[in-house]
Structure 1
Amino acid sequence: MSFEPALPLPQLRRSRSSIKWRRYPEDVLPLFVAEMDFGVAPEVIEAVTDALAAGDTGYLDGPGPLAPAFAAFAEDSWGWRVDPGHVHLATDVTVGVVETLRLVVPRAGGSVVITPPVYSPFYEMVGETGARLVEVPLLEASDWSLDLAGLETAFRAGVDAMILCHPHNPTGRTHDRATLEALARLAAAHDVVIVSDEVHATLAHPGTDFAPFAPIASAAGALSVTVTSASKGWNLAALKCAVIVAADARAEALLTGLPDELAARTSILGLHANLAALGATAWRDAAVAQITRNIELLGSRLATEAPSVSLVRPDAGYLVWLDFRATGLGDDPAVSLREIGRVAFNSGPSFGAPGRGFVRANLACDPATVAEAVHRIAASIA
């Protein structure tokens, strides 16, 4: 079924009530929170509408048909053979990560590694487990890659787990297979559990070879769990449903400790939506095509109107990392851009100290919105 382009801004402001459209005054152009301006895939609308019409609005006790559907999607998309019996439900990806960490991090004295600049809720999620946070920043000089030497040092010092952001948010980078293999060897050698957040993987750009971490971890003898959802690829954040996937039998034994109530807290409508989304790959491909065109437009417009701003080109997703350090707008340029230019981005420092001087922008929007955002950026710098 057809992909619906981004709606006009006035219509979006009238019809949508999410944070993106209510947090700031109407004269502020919202390019921050990670949700799309596109319409929902017709297949998803039909599935959810049918479920509502049937009164199918009760509780879940497991993934049911979503488990084999995800397994088929993973094999078709990435060559990842998933045992449907290793698929569990969670309310969303953040809940899945936290509940998995609770199984592996001691209540007292535990520690978890993250790799800033990184998805800012990771800080809070680690805090929910009571664990100590260990930061091993990405290597900007090596194109925002994982710092394997730094990770080895942290693992040797004794940590319980690491949250792998793959593809990485906010940089949009996918970690290459060789790097993931090295990480898996380190994790196996030091008994570190890797919890891989792969929610942006369904939005890999053409030419990107995304490698799921689970089979790589299993081959190396590392203990790993993947948490993902159709929520980013098909714009389904409100329909709360994610999957927690054990990499192998050893990881599945760990996940048997998940609370029984976790499935019941997941939306049955979200399950129907995820099922439909995994079959709506043509819609997803059209969305990716629009996103990549928007990235090219942003790059060309910045080069002309605001050349002091550098774009980190992502490998996946619709979030882009913009470097404002040469503009004179300070450690948190999002403030000036919002107050002067009336355009809202995510604050770079919220992703950790390496985010000083950066902002994260959302390009799942109309090309006209991208052009207007660059105009406002240029005005702010001027």
Structure 2
Amino acid sequence: MTYTTHPTADELFDISDDRLRERASLKWSNVDVDVLPAWVAEMDVHLAPAIIDALQNAITRHDAGYPGSAEGVTQAFSDFARDRWNWNIEPDQVSIHVDAATAAAKLMRHYAGADRSVMIMPPVYNRFYDWLDVGGVRPVEVPLTDVPNGGYFDLDGIEAGLKAGTKVILLCNPHNPLGRVFSRQELSELAELAERYDAVVLSDEIHAPLVYHGVEYSPWLTVSEAAANTGIAIHTATKSWNFAGLKCGIAIRSTTGPWPDDLDPKTSLTDSGFWGILATEAAFSQSRDWLDTVREHFEAQTGRLTQLLAEHLPEVKFHPPEASFLAWLDFGDTDLREEPSEYFLREARVALNPGTRFGAAGEGYARLNMGTSAQRLERIIKAMGKAWPPAA
């Protein structure tokens, strides 16, 4: 693609089905050729020019060794956090890891209490269950309340779990799959409980760069003194700039909060993906215009999806997200009596994520990926509409 100085969303997402099927990454390569994929969290988008340049320059230099320094990526992330979220981070508070999953698994393994439990709040990011397995810990589920209207913390349930001995809370904010951005007040109440019961909060904030305009996002470590005392934040650029296959996770701790002495930032840097570090630095430092265009596109996609569902699937409920490109579709009040994703794969040739992959609280739901062009989103919903209503 030949980019304009400031490419539009139509330009960035203008990729044909045939070109997308040439990709070897998961979203398009793992479905049949007649299926429209709207499942795994990959975007159908052209990479940001600065990221392409960083990777091409590394190839030109034949530069594919171990990471040599974290200084550039640490500075790029710190500058982004200051400019976008008013979050001031000192370099020694940041460490680079293979990815968010690896960092979280190590931290959960270290801080889980005698019962080896970690609290999660389903429906929640399906890979959390994998992270828990790798960390050798078990989930304690405290489902979010009022999910059809966005989803809220069950503070009584959280306190009961902490009182019973759970010592780690794995938080997802912005939330996947609901797209919910929890308020500072909600996070502050959670932090007070964590501090009261001497628990550690691992805050997965990887969708934070894609929070919509006008929505207040509060990084965990900025919420309150209690949050800073109890938390570790985990970030990446890989979701927001669409290079999940290039590994680079970022963990941030506060000067007063937890951090394992045996988790050496020098070792975790060497274990990380060199090209992922290069791409991450280019993302945070040189690809903000690209990000803003993509973010505005997803805000518009949310409006489009609302209209398309009303026209083609009016019985399906959808609470508009406040961040990112994922939609949580509620089939609970419809006549559909089977797993929604299985139904639409068979009848509409559209691939969705099963709601039950996000915990038992996801029964009757499906996750839809809006990270595509406006035209393809319309094709997806129209195909689903043609298969609706299900036969009696």
Q: TM-score range by the shorter chain?
A: over 0.9
- Checking the alignment, whether the CA contact within 8 Å between 2:221 and 2:228 is kept in structure 1 is no
Q: Deviations over 1:188-239 (max 9, x none)?
A: 0101100000000000011111000012254556321111111111101111
Aligned to 2:350: 343
Equivalent in 43, 46, 51 of residue 50 of structure 2: 43
- Assess, with a 3 A threshold, how the Cα gap between structure 1 residues 159 and 230 changes in structure 2: closer, same or farther: same
Task: Supply the distance in 2 between the matched residues of 1:220 and 1:203 (Cα, whole angstroms).
Answer: 22
Q: Which one of the candidate residues 238, 241, 250 is aligned to 1:231?
A: 238
In structure 2, the CA distance between the partners of 1:116 and 1:58, relative to structure 1 (3 Å rule), is: same
Q: Which moved more, 1:319-328 or 1:109-118?
A: 319-328
TM-score (structure 1 length as normaliser): 0.95
Q: Give the counterpart letter for 2:128 in structure 1.
A: F
Counterpart position of 1:104: 111
Alignment of 1:212-291 (within 5 A): 212-216=219-223, 218-220=225-227, 222-251=229-258, 253-254=259-260, 256-258=262-264, 261-279=267-285, 280-291=287-298
Cα RMSD of the aligned pairs, angstroms, is 1.7
The alignment partner of 1:65 has SS state of helix
Describe how 1:148-163 pairs up with structure 2 within 5 A: 148-163=155-170
Q: String of CA shifts for 1:19-62, please: whole Å, max 9, x gaps.
A: 11121111110000001101000011111111221232111265
The answer (yes or no) to whether the contact 1:35–1:364 under 8 Å persists in 2 is: yes
3-state SS of 2:171 partner: strand
Moved more, 79-88 or 221-230: 221-230
CA separation in 2, counterparts of 1:50 and 1:249? 40
In 1: Cα distance, 2:116 partner to 2:224 partner: 22
How many angstroms apart in 1 are the aligned matches of 2:84 and 2:223? 16
Change (3 A) 1:255 1:29: farther
**Partner amino acid, structure 1, of 2:368:** A
Contact 2:222 2:228 in 1 (8 A): no
Provide the identity percentage: 33
CA distance in 2, matches of 1:13, 1:47: 22
* Corresponding residue SS for 1:208: coil
Partners of 1:218 and 1:147 in 2: CA distance: 22
Structure 1 unaligned residues grouped into runs of 5+: none
Give the structure 1 partner of residue 197 of structure 2: 190
Corresponding residue for residue 132 of structure 1: 138
Moved more, 324-333 or 298-307: 324-333
Q: In 2, are the aligned partners of 1:241 and 1:274 still within 8 Å (CA)?
A: yes
Cα deviation 1:280-322 (Å, max 9, x = unaligned) = 1110000011111111111101111110011121000001111
Equivalenced residue count is 380
Give the match for residue 209 of structure 2: 202
- Is 1:325 the equivalent of 2:327? no
Structure 1 residues 261 and 91: CA distance shift in structure 2, 3 A: same
Judged with a 3 Å threshold, the aligned counterparts in structure 2 of structure 1 residues 283 and 354 are, in CA distance, closer, same or farther, namely same
Distance 1:115 1:255, change over 3 A: farther
- The residue type equivalent to 1:129 in the other structure is G
Report the AA paired with residue 264 of structure 1. Answer: T
